[in-house]
A and B are shown apart, each in its own frame.
Chain A
Amino acid sequence: METTGLTIHEMRDLLDTGKISAAELTGSFLRRIHELDTRINAFIRVTKEQAEEAARRADRRIREGNSTLLTGIPLALKDIFVTEGIETTCASNILKGFVPPYDGTVVRRLREQDAVFLGKLNMDEFAMGSSNENSAFGPVRNPWDETRVSGGSSGGSAAAVAACMAAGSLGTDTGGSIRQPASHCGVVGLKPTYGRVSRYGVIAYASSLDQVGPLARDVEDCSLLLQAVAGYDPHDSTSVSLPVPDYRGSLKNGVKGMRIGCPKEYFIDGLDADVIASIRTALDRYRHLGAEIVDITLPHTDYAVACYYVIATAEASSNLARYDGIRFGQRIDDGGGLIEMYRNTRARGFGAEVKRRIMLGTFALSSGYYDAYYLKAQKIRTLIREDFAAAFDQVDAVLTPVAPTPAFLLGEKMDDPLQMYLSDIFTIPVNLAGTCAISLPCGFSAEGLPIGMQLIGKPFAEETILRAAWAFEQEAGIRKGPPL
């Protein structure tokens, strides 16, 4: 493997010392995408010309000595980020042909650094899914085993990084959509605290849960990407105006004396034996590194999935109302009048899972059911948040599995939405609590599939979990690429 297998911080050194140009680096990635992506299907659209142009700009800036952390680094974006002048579809037929007239805040911040965008990444349609099989552009295949799913909804973001088709990527996480595919593809993925990163220009699935985050090859890269996108944005009322700490600067401070909680509710029936073994090993490593492992309880964990599928679908049913064929995207008009046009556009424009969730959410908000579903779910959400608050009185971080099993087979759960929904059982509570969590590789299954662990931090304590993750990564030394 050539330069495409390097980490961002390694590339930074090569670029700044003139050992490689951004144009060369970008060229290598574009070639690798060309060679591999017919198999993986991580990209919906490769923006070759824009990438080459951005690389030239980056090279000028590097020559002038004005480079910043991500200048000239080839990245890729989940197709949920609106990008000015570049078609943005959210992997849905209904948005085909939609070319946004503006950049979202996160995209703008990366452009300001002259980062290079290689293209738009595949995902589950409107971020609804856990396997990346709900895409109008076909499923993403797992680079470790192409018969298996990449995970979702940021499947393209995880697979592209795992297969070295991008140095790093951005995804979004509503119920585990960064962490679960990161785990299945053997990369590092971070879901920041709600409000840490602006959602402006990120196509909404469930507004009170959606959060932007990075996927990268190692923890340090993850910290660099978070650094670039985090911070208050006046365009997003829910973004928080807390100062952004120097994430990379505190990575190496170690975990001596750190208290790490292990919640008994996460060791459920059906949890894969290899996953259990990997998590036990990880706990041992932390003990060895000087951390203290504490048994904790998160008593309302059982209700999280049900609670999530009420709140997320309720918000989605409203967020997706704007796809009506009137102003942008696809319009299917057979001349039958307005209502028929709405009906046809939405019936044919949305995929099955999106329609299922819109119907669920519409039902949950309906008169006569609102109290029993939406309001009840909000109450449970409060209890789950209180679970975490109580746990964080005792510990600095919580360690759990990311998913009950390693990557499952393509098609395995497509006929069983409930089984599919349960694959996010360990990640969903974090979104409901609004706090932060990182997913990083901690072992392999007997079949050689990557297994991830999740470190959950206090709200706005991304620094703590990044530090804990970095310490583990150094100690475990299990970083390796898929057999491509």
Chain B
Amino acid sequence: MTSRYEAVIGLEVHTQLTTSTKIFCGCSTAFGAPPNSHTCPVCLGLPGALPVLNRTVVEYAIRAGLATRCTIAPRSIFARKNYFYPDLPKGYQISQFELPICTGGHMEIETTAGGRKTIGITRIHMEEDAGKLIHPGEGSRFSHVDLNRAGTPLLEIVSEPDMRSSDEAVAYLRKLHQTVVYLGICDGNLEEGSFRCDANVSVRLRGAEKLGTRAELKNINSFRFVKQAIEYEIERQIDLIESGGAVVQETRLFDSASGVTRSMRGKEEAHDYRYFPDPDLVPVIVSEEWIQSVRGTLPELPDAKIERFASDLGLSRQDAEVLAADRALADYFEACAAAHNNPKGCANWVMGEVIRVLNESGQTIASCPLPPENLAGMVKRIDDGTISGKIAKTVFLEMWKSGKKADRIIEEKGLRQVTDSGAIEKVVDEIIAANPEQAAQYRSGKEKVFGFFVGQVMKASKGKANPQAVNDILKQKLAQD
């Protein structure tokens, strides 16, 4: 039944910017301070206070616009969005309406089928965040208002209704998340609300031109919930239409506990926000020079990085994507590969042991105790045959714990690999002599026991024998008899 229908999805994302001060006053944006300690007459909306625009917010908006191939407006306007709510001190939110700073961009996503798809970006605009209500719970008639967050800068990034499935929506959202974090304009923290998503969802018969009536889904604060909420909503709308009903244009709240969306009708419905240009602020003028100077500071974005890792450094596309997914991880890898020219070898260690140990210890790449140069030093010793890959794991953990460099650990612990064939031959001879039964099995064609011999030799050499040399000598000695 689903296949008769097609979903049409557009996303509105609110990204909290990482400027140190608020958008219209000098108060700190730091998270977690005591309630109302980061406030002043401006962000409290006291009578007589006036907003003054933080230029860094404009710069961040330009960054986001350039990264998503938007047109940056030479002149944009702040507008007031009027509504009453206790967390909104002025009774209006300063936002942008008719003339936003960025319009008409796009981003490429990868579809589950492995193809690429372009998602249009309608607009990006700057606005201020509201405060927070704290409800003490049962027994209290009152709620408390914390205005620390009021006036924190946000970018609202609105996509075209170009997505056709929950998977595409999530792919777009992940791409956007990656981009704003890469740009250094948002910390991307979904739990703290730094990256929030509303989804507009409608369905129509496949092939139909006209869009169906849409519902706006709010309060979705993880990638998983976006997928759940959209899938639930698509199914709900199709069921409704199939049973002869009609979708109503409304705002619906996603309840992550039950996985369903619920109508908010009667609550925040039917708002007339009475937008009009804010007379307290002058138009935002962005010169071509400003745009160019911001362009000059843009970091390399994931797509370009993946391309470069694959074509210049010879990584597989898959590895390049894993490394480029996180800017800090990519930087770590690049520092490592710069210190030792074996990108593939470095990449394997970064994606393998480094990520594994970080995850185990609950750390992030930003706080990784192992400098990339030290990791490179170890990979170098594997490549020049000083240690085996197996011994390297021991060296790696020791570097991680002690902060010592690989060479020092190899020397101190005597981990240098034995490549002297005379010494290895001696051990091999001893092992064969001690295991005549297995030797006979091997010779009778049961080649599986070869692994047993390798293991015994390595054990006897405490792992320091060069595995290749052990292989060669064993083969040769077992063949003789």
Contact = CB atoms under 8 A, between A and B. Distances in A.
B314 interface: no
Given A237-B52, A321-B91, A314 B82 contact: no
Interface residues of B, number: 29
Contacts of A100: 41, 46-48
Given A318-B274, A374-B276, A327 B45 contact: yes
Contact of A321 (B48, B50, B84, B282): B84
A388 B396 CA distance: 79
A47 interface: no
B392 interface: no
A98 B276 contact: no
Contacts of B91: 318, 320-322, 324
A12 interface: no
A207 interface: yes
Contacts of B90: 321-322
Contacts of A367: 272, 274
Contacts of A315: 276, 279
Nearest to B141: A335
Contact of A88 (B47, B51, B86): B47
Nearest to A311: B279
B280 interface: yes
A238 B282 contact: yes
A92 B49 CA distance: 18
B281 interface: yes
Interface residues of A, number: 44
B47 A370 contact: no
**Main secondary structure on chain A at its contact with chain B?**
loop
Interface in B1-59: 41, 44-53
Interface string A401-424: 000000000000000000000000
Interface in B252-283: 272, 274-276, 279-282
Contact of B41 (A102, A320, A326, A338): A102
Contacts of A374: 276
Interface in B427-452: none
Given A101-B46, A318-B91, A318-B92, A237 B282 contact: yes
A328 B17 CA distance: 29
Contacts of B301: none
Contact of B276 (A202, A203, A326, A365): A365
A366 interface: yes
A104 interface: yes
B48 to A, nearest CB: 4
Contacts, number: 99
Most chain-B Cβ atoms within 10 A of its Cβ — which of A235, A335, A374? A235
A104 B41 CA distance: 10
Contacts of B214: none
A445 interface: no
Contact of A82 (B48, B51, B282): B48
A322 B276 contact: no
Contact of A324 (B49, B84, B281): B84
B47 A203 contact: yes
A345 to B, nearest CB: 11
Contacts of A320: 91
A234 interface: yes
B464 interface: no
Q: B47, B50, B92, B276: which has the most chain A beta carbons within 10 Å?
A: B47
Contacts of B120: none
Interface of B: 41, 44-53, 80, 82, 84, 86, 89-92, 141, 145, 272, 274-276, 279-282
15 contacts: A82-B46, A82-B47, A204-B48, A204-B280, A208-B279, A237-B281, A318-B82, A321-B82, A321-B90, A322-B89, A322-B90, A327-B46, A335-B141, A365-B275, A367-B274
Question: Closest 3 interchain pairs by CB?
Answer: A321-B91, A208-B279, A207-B279
Given A204-B48, A237-B52, A365-B276, 8 more contacts: A102-B46, A238-B280, A315-B276, A321-B92, A326-B86, A365-B274, A366-B272, A370-B276
Interface of A: 81-82, 88, 90, 95, 98, 100-102, 104, 199-204, 206-208, 234-238, 314-315, 317-318, 320-322, 324, 326-328, 335, 338, 342, 362, 365-367, 370, 374
